[in-house]
Amino acid sequence: MPPEGNARPATTTKPRRLHNFIDGAYAQSAGAKTFESRCPADNSIVAIVDEASRADVDQAVSSARAALTGPWGKISLDERAAILHSIADLIDERAADFADAEISDTGKLIGPTLNGEIPRGAMQFRVFADIAKDGFAMAPIASQTPMGKAANYPERAPKGVIATICPWNLPFVLSTWKIAPALACGNTLVVKPSEETPMTATLLGAVMNDAGVPPGVYNVVNGFGAGSTGAFLVAHPDINAITFTGETRTGAAIMAGAADGIKDISLELGGKNPGIIFADCDFEKAVAGTAASVFHNCGQVCLCTERLYVERVIFDKFVAALKAKAEALKPGNPRDPATTLPPLISIGHREKVLDYFKAAHDDGATVVSGGGIAQTDGALVEGAWIEPTIWTGLSESSRVVKEEVFGPVCHIQPFDTEDEAVAYANDSDYGLAATVWSGDSTRARRIASQIEVGVVWVNGWMIRELRSPFGGFKHSGIGREGGAFSLDFYTEIRNVCVSEG
Ligand code: NAD
Ligand code: 6OD
C-alpha cells in the first residue's frame, strides 16, 4: 500500500485481526482473551489481538524446541545465511505494508519509518547472516602440556530456544535486531512484542514462511508482561536464553525469573543520557544534532538525550537555539511528510510524562519551551500529543533530571570545567549513551573515555554500526549485542580437544 499524505487517515480504517504465529501458522489463541491495539495519533483501534495464554506459550516453545533438531538444525550455515538474505529481500518488497503497520501501531512519521526503520530491519538480516558466516568458525589452538600434545577446536553451537521480549518504541528495528542474529546462529525463537505494538513481528511470520524458514523456527506470542504472556515465557522451563529490551524495572523482574532454569540473559534497558556541549563546538551542528537527540521519535528512543550540560559561555545562546528547534516541530498526521513531531505511544504514557511536567514545576524549573499538550485538530485531538519541553534551573537531584521520562524533554545545566561536565554526566544510575560536542578532538576523546556509558557519540548522534558493541553500563543493561558480541550471546561454545599423543 503506497504511503499517502494528509488525505489518508492517521490509522488504517478497519482494525486488523491478529492471531499468534505458532509452528508456521496464524492460529486462534487457546484462551478466549483478546485485547485492543490503538494508534496513538488519534487513539483509534487498529487491531484486535489474541492474548497468548500459558497453553499458547507452551505450544510455541514446544514447536521451537522441535524445530531445533528438524530441518533447521540440519542445514549448513551458508544455507541459513541465504534464507536470511531472502527474508531481507521480502521485507524490502513489502516495506510499504510493514511501514503502514508500524505507523498504525505507533503513530511514527512516514519518512523515518519507510526510509529508515523498516529498511534497517531488513538490513539486519543481511548483516547478521554475513557476520555469522565470517565469525562462526573459531581458530584452533595447538597445545603442548605435561599431559601431552593436543589440538583444541573451539566451535559454536546454537544456544537453543530463545525468548525475545521487545518494547514499543522501535518495534521492528528492535525485534529484528535480536531475531536476525538468533536465526543466523541456528537458534529458534519465541518472540513477544510489546502489547502496544503487535503488528510488525506478527506480519513477519508470513515473510518467514515465504522465505523457506521451517515451521516452528519463528513463533510470535502476543500479550502483556507481568501475569500474562511475557511472564509465562520467562518462566517456561524449556527456554535456554532470554533477550530483553525495555525498562530497567522490567529487566530486574526478568532477571529474577531467569534464575529458575539458569537461563542466559541479555538486557538492554533504560537510560538518562547526557549531552556535553563545549563552547568550541560547531554551534549549528551541535544544536541540530542535539535537537535530533532530544526530540527524535518524540523522545522515545532509549538513546535520546534528556540531560544537557552546556559550557557557560554559550549557555544562553544554546538554550535559545534549542528552543527555536523545539518550537519549529509540527504535530500532525504521521502519514503527512510535512509532519515533524509524532505522538507519544499512548494516552497512558502521556499521563506519566505530564506527571513529570508537574514534578518539574513543583521543583521550580524554568520552562523554556513547551510544558503541555500539543495542539492538533480533527480526529487527532484524541491522540497522545505532547509539546517538546525544555527546562533549566533545576538541581541535579530533581526527579526529571534523575529519572528516565521517555518523552521529548531535556533539562539544560551550565558547566565551567571538563571535570565538572564529566561528574555531571556520570551522576546517574543509568549508563547507556552520551554525546560530546567539541571542535577539539583530543579533548572530546579524553572526555568520552571518562563517561560511564555503553556508547559515546562525538559530534553526532545515533550513527549506528551494527558490527560495533551495543549495551549499557550500570542499570542500563547486562551484556553486549552487535557484531561478534551477538554471536557470543546467541551461541554456546564447545571445545573439542583431540589428543595427539
Ligand atoms: P517495558 O519494560 O514496559 O516492556 C517491554 C516488554 O516487556 C513488553 O513486551 C512487555 O510486555 C514486557 N514485560 C513487561 N513486564 C514483564 C514481565 N514481568 N515479564 C516478562 N515480560 C514483561 O518497556 P517499554 O515501556 O515497552 O519500553 C520503554 C523502555 O524500554 C524504556 O525504559 C527504554 O529506555 C527502554 N529501551 C531500552 C533500549 C536499549 O537498547 N537499552 C531500547 C529500547 C527501549
Ligand atoms: O540501534 C540499536 O541497535 C538499538 N538497539 C537501539 C536501541 C534504541 C532504543 O530505543
Is 439 domain-assigned? yes
- Could you tell me the distance, in angstroms and rounded to a whole number, from the CA of residue 272 to the centre of ligand 1? 15
- Which residue's alpha carbon is nearest to atom 14 within ligand 1? 225
Is 105 domain-assigned? yes
* Residues 217, 291 within the same domain: no
Q: What is the pLDDT of residue 143?
A: 94
Out of 236, 247, 403, 404, give the residue to mutate to test ligand 1, the one with the largest number of ligand atoms within 8 Å of its CB: 247
pLDDT tens string 360-388: 999 999 999 999 999 999 999 999 999 99
* Residues 30, 150 within the same domain: yes
pLDDT tens string 122-164: 999 999 999 999 999 999 999 999 999 999 999 999 999 999 9
- Which residue's alpha carbon is nearest to atom 5 within ligand 2? 174
Q: How many distinct structural domains can be found in the chain?
A: 2
* Residues 244, 361 within the same domain: no
Q: Give the pocket of ligand 2 (CB within 6 Å).
A: 169-170, 174, 177, 268, 301-303, 464, 470
| pLDDT of 41 higher than 90 | yes
Written as nine digits, the cell of 369 is 519551551
CA 267/CA 35 separation, integer angstroms: 27
According to DSSP, the β-strands at 430-431 and 409-415 are unpaired
CA 389/CA 477 separation, integer angstroms: 27
Is 1 domain-assigned? no
What confidence tier does 422 reach under pLDDT thresholds 50, 70, 90? very high
- Which residue's alpha carbon is nearest to atom 9 within ligand 1? 194
- Could you tell me the distance, in angstroms and rounded to a whole number, from the CA of residue 74 to the centre of ligand 2? 32
Q: Which ligand is nearest to the CA of 466?
A: 2
DSSP one-letter string for 373-400: PPP--GGGGGS-----EEEES--TTSHH
- Which residue's alpha carbon is nearest to atom 8 within ligand 1? 194
CA 19/CA 221 separation, integer angstroms: 8
Ligand 2 atom at minimal distance to the Cα of residue 301: 10
* Residues 108, 192 within the same domain: yes
- For the Cβ of 225 lying below 6 angstroms from any atom of ligand 1, the answer is yes
* Residues 248, 279 within the same domain: no
* Residues 148, 241 within the same domain: yes
Which positions ≥6 away from 378 have C-beta within 8 Å? Answer: none
- Centre a 10 Å sphere on the Cβ of residue 463 and count the other Cβ atoms it contains: 10
Is 3 domain-assigned? no
pLDDT tens string 179-216: 999 999 999 999 999 999 999 999 999 999 999 999 99
Q: Stretch 259-280: mean pLDDT, rounded?
A: 98
- Name the residue type at position 25: A
Host H or E run for residue 408: none
Q: Stretch 480-488: mean pLDDT, rounded?
A: 97
Which positions ≥6 away from 27 have C-beta within 8 Å? Answer: 19, 20, 21
**CB distance 498 to 153 below 8 Å:** yes
Residues annotated as part of the active site: 268, 302
- Name the residue type at position 325: K
* Residues 480, 446 within the same domain: no
Written as nine digits, the cell of 276 is 556535553
Q: Which ligand is nearest to the CA of 128?
A: 2
Which positions ≥6 away from 246 have C-beta within 8 Å? Answer: 165, 166, 167, 194, 268, 269
Mean pLDDT, the chain, rounded, equals 96
- Which residue's alpha carbon is nearest to atom 6 within ligand 2? 174
Ligand 1 atom at minimal distance to the Cα of residue 249: 2
CA 168 to each of CA 15, 117, 172, 227, 398: distance values in angstroms, whole numbers, following the listed order: 19, 13, 9, 19, 27
| pLDDT of 7 higher than 90 | no
Is 92 domain-assigned? yes
Q: What are phi and psi of 207, to 5 degrees?
A: -65, -40
* Residues 455, 411 within the same domain: yes
Could you tell me if residue 17 is left (phi over 0), alpha (psi between -120 and 50 degrees) or otherwise beta? beta
Domain that holds residue 181: 21-269+476-496
- Could you tell me the distance, in angstroms and rounded to a whole number, from the CA of residue 233 to the centre of ligand 2? 23
* Residues 240, 279 within the same domain: no
CA 384/CA 399 separation, integer angstroms: 22
Q: What is the pLDDT of residue 12?
A: 53
| pLDDT of 423 higher than 90 | yes
Q: Which ligand is nearest to the CA of 404?
A: 1
Instruction: Please name which of 91, 160, 161, 81 lies closest in space to residue 127, comparing C-alpha atoms.
Output: 81
pTM for the model stands at 0.96
Is 10 domain-assigned? no
| pLDDT of 26 higher than 60 | yes
Output the furthest CA–CA distance in the chain (Å, rounded). Answer: 82
* Residues 311, 383 within the same domain: yes
Which positions ≥6 away from 381 have C-beta within 8 Å? Answer: none
Is 8 domain-assigned? no
Q: Stretch 59-80: mean pLDDT, rounded?
A: 97
* Residues 177, 284 within the same domain: no
Is 312 domain-assigned? yes
CATH of the domain at 440: 3.40.309.10
- Centre a 10 Å sphere on the Cβ of residue 173 and count the other Cβ atoms it contains: 22
* Residues 439, 492 within the same domain: no
- Could you tell me the distance, in angstroms and rounded to a whole number, from the CA of residue 330 to the centre of ligand 1? 28
CATH of the domain at 52: 3.40.605.10
Instruction: Please name which of 231, 226, 228, 229 lies closest in space to residue 202, comparing C-alpha atoms.
Output: 229
- Could you tell me the distance, in angstroms and rounded to a whole number, from the CA of residue 192 to the centre of ligand 1? 11
Written as nine digits, the cell of 483 is 557484531
- Which residue's alpha carbon is nearest to atom 40 within ligand 1? 268
- For the Cβ of 127 lying below 6 angstroms from any atom of ligand 1, the answer is no
Q: What is the pLDDT of residue 2?
A: 32
Written as nine digits, the cell of 473 is 553500563
Q: What is the pLDDT of residue 4?
A: 36
| pLDDT of 251 higher than 60 | yes
